[in-house]
Amino acid sequence: MLSEFARDQDRVHPRHTILGMSDVHLVRLHGGLVDTTKSANTNSELNYRVSILPNEHELQIELVIQRSAEVAELCLELGSWVPGDYSFMPFARDLWGLNATDCSSGVSLKIVRTGWQSFVITGGSGSVCVSYRAYAYSLELAETCGIVDSDYAILMGTRYLRPTGWHGYCTVTYELPPTWSFHHPSGAEHVADSTWRYPDYLTLLDTPVVMGHLNIVSRMVRGTKIYVVCVDRTLGYEDGIERFADALARVAGQYNLMFGKFPFEDYTFVLSFSPNFDWGLEHLSSALCGLGTDLFIDSGKFAFAVRVCAHELFHAWNVRRLKPTPLKQIDLTNGSYTEGLWVSEGFTRYYEFVTCVRAGLYTVEQFVSAVVNYLTHLRAVPAFKRIDVLDSSRATFLNHNKYAGRCNNSIDYYDKGMLIAFDIDAALRLDTVSDSLDRAFADFYRRYVDSVKGFTTDDVICFLEDRLPGLGALVAREVKGTYQIGLEQSLRRLGFEIGYRKRNYVGLLFNNAVSSRIYNVLDDSPAGRSGIAPDDQMTRIDGYPFSGQGLSWVTSRAQRITLEVLRGQRILTFILEPEIRIEIDSVTWRGSEAQAERLRSWLGQSSFRPSYGLVMPLDFYENFHGVEVLR
């Protein structure tokens, strides 16, 4: 029996046609697949009805598809990934109870799963109604698929089947529990109380809709509303949320000042404080951010949480609109591989720090400590000497999640891109009268944001060379070369003196803190040559029970270390002889008042008035991807 929704849609849109699954030619346009043989599909529309079932943590989804009578077979699919999340995911795993019906006759049609994320419907003619359930409490998919909790839901298009090659409009009617409220970011047309129309499937995919027992605060920033939508609460929320919204407003104001305007009608931060959600995913006019439990009672975690949001907000310009080639032509099935993430992610990481300093959340000293430690940690891994940032970007689907051996064959394009951005900013501020990366990047955005193909690395290099002779060549060396970063020279030119130290190491890496489990092994180190391996569990050091403090102590003093490890059921013993590495030990202020004023202007910190000989502390370093500790 046809639902009222199916009958209504058959009446309202009788002339819509759908892509046939054979004898069509597809080209890529505006991020989707476009049929060049059936131009009538350009104005077609998909119609969804999505019912939220909070107690079951499920969605009931109905989809009405208008198709040509001659199309005998219809293929439906989900994507394999979403932009901003560089991994292929089993989005179709949680779909069940699929049914297909011919809208005209009411006859059931055969629907069969045919692959990783696709289904085929055979039989019937004209419009088809598809219905299915989707389990929506998969925590590991929540960032990319949303989630249905008993008290709230975050919905995205990730779970909505679409005809293969679909590129037209999408309309969604949301059916909520009666006591729930609803928040929809900008980017779609509100056509009825609970119905929204999206210009294409990618926009639907890029617009998380939030509903439930929500806590919403907002700020008006230069005429644009910034929403903070919290799906849950944590300790100190009542005292801290207004202060947090104020900090986000300051960050948004800095970005508006840099680019001259916002690229959206309004912006929504969707926040969770659950320890289960390590979110940080940007969208067209919103972002999903999982901020942890203690940000309102810990000033350091408060600043870190603002920085997470600042990173995602900067993406509204850098990667959601300004895209490196070929991200203007998104392939949701096979992935879109680009060498430009050193700009899209690296520059965004740079501005997450700079803007939070300007907003008063970090000091100049912490910023200097951060960039020095990013360089130190990059230099520690053998891959820094082997892999350029372009290859690392192209391989993002392989290297974004950390794995054993990553330190030897992949670098983080976020980190190196951030340091390249610092060097560009320093050069522009030092070698021109009034230029900066703020101005240059805003101009670059305006030049390439509407490019059909997006920008290339060579576009960046040529743009900067025209901006400042020699700067393009510097960037080319840092981007296309290995072990190439000019941070130390930039710091010296800014007024700092760099000191170095010799340090013993054996080549064991740990994630965030030294522990008995070995996280990774540098292959060009004493540990790498000894036979010890990632995931080995250290049990004894020189015959004594293992401790992290003991490993640090003996590495710094001994000439020979005996490590006993447990590998599976084997007890193995390895002999390591520490070697010496040289790293930055101190950064001391030796600059003039004019140089100090340059830094005050750059970082918006009028209180930065260092005395000559001031030693900058190097104890601040945070990394969203984890801190790798070397011993």
In this model, does residue 65 exceed pLDDT 70? yes
Alpha-carbon distance of 461 to 228, in angstroms, equals 37
Q: Tell me: the pLDDT tens digits for 283-332? A: 999 999 999 999 999 999 999 999 999 999 999 999 999 999 999 989 99
326 cis-preceded (ω within 30 degrees of 0) = yes
Q: Tell me: the pLDDT tens digits for 140-158? A: 999 999 999 999 999 999 9
Alpha-carbon distance of 141 to 464, in angstroms, equals 39
pLDDT for 625: 87
Q: What is the DSSP string of 351-415?
A: HHHHHHHHTTSS-HHHHHHHHHHHHHHHHHSGGGGT--HHHHHHTHHHHSS--TTHHHH---HHH
In this model, does residue 585 exceed pLDDT 90? yes
In this model, does residue 33 exceed pLDDT 70? no
Reduced to 3 states, what is the DSSP secondary structure of residue 117? coil
Mean pLDDT of 494-509: 96
What CATH superfamily is the domain 215-314? Neutral Protease Domain 2 (1.10.390.10)
Mean pLDDT of 240-256: 98
- Among 12-16, 188-192, 351-355, which stretch is predicted with the lowest mean pLDDT? 12-16
Banded pLDDT at 168 (limits 50, 70, 90): confident
What CATH superfamily is the domain 507-577? PDZ domain (2.30.42.10)
Asked if 309 contacts 375 with a C-beta cutoff of 8 angstroms, the reply is: no
Q: Tell me: the pLDDT tens digits for 201-214? A: 999 999 999 999 99
In this model, does residue 108 exceed pLDDT 70? yes
pLDDT for 165: 82
Asked if 370 contacts 621 with a C-beta cutoff of 8 angstroms, the reply is: yes
Count CA within 13 A, CB hemisphere, residue 566.
9
**At a CB cut-off of 8 Å and minimum separation 6, what does 506 contact?**
525, 526, 527, 555, 561, 576, 578, 579, 631
Domain ranges of the chain: 4-209, 215-314, 341-500+582-630, 507-577
Place of tokens 């540990």: 527
Say yes or no: domain 341-500+582-630 is CATH 1.10.390.10.
yes
Asked if 508 contacts 521 with a C-beta cutoff of 8 angstroms, the reply is: yes
Q: Tell me: the pLDDT tens digits for 262-275? A: 999 999 999 999 99
Mean pLDDT of 516-529: 96
Mean of the per-residue pLDDT values of the chain = 90
Helix pair angle (413-431, 593-603), 10° resolution: 130
Banded pLDDT at 69 (limits 50, 70, 90): low
Place of tokens 């949301």: 174
Same fold, 215-314 and 341-500+582-630: yes
Alpha-carbon distance of 506 to 576, in angstroms, equals 7
pLDDT for 8: 46
- How far, rounded to the nearest angstrom, does the alpha carbon of residue 374 sit from its chain's CA centroid? 18
Fold topology of 4-209: Immunoglobulin-like (2.60.40)
pLDDT for 595: 95
372: its two tokens = 């020095």
Model confidence, pTM:
0.90
Q: Give the closest residue to 574 by CA, choosing from 583, 566, 582.
A: 566
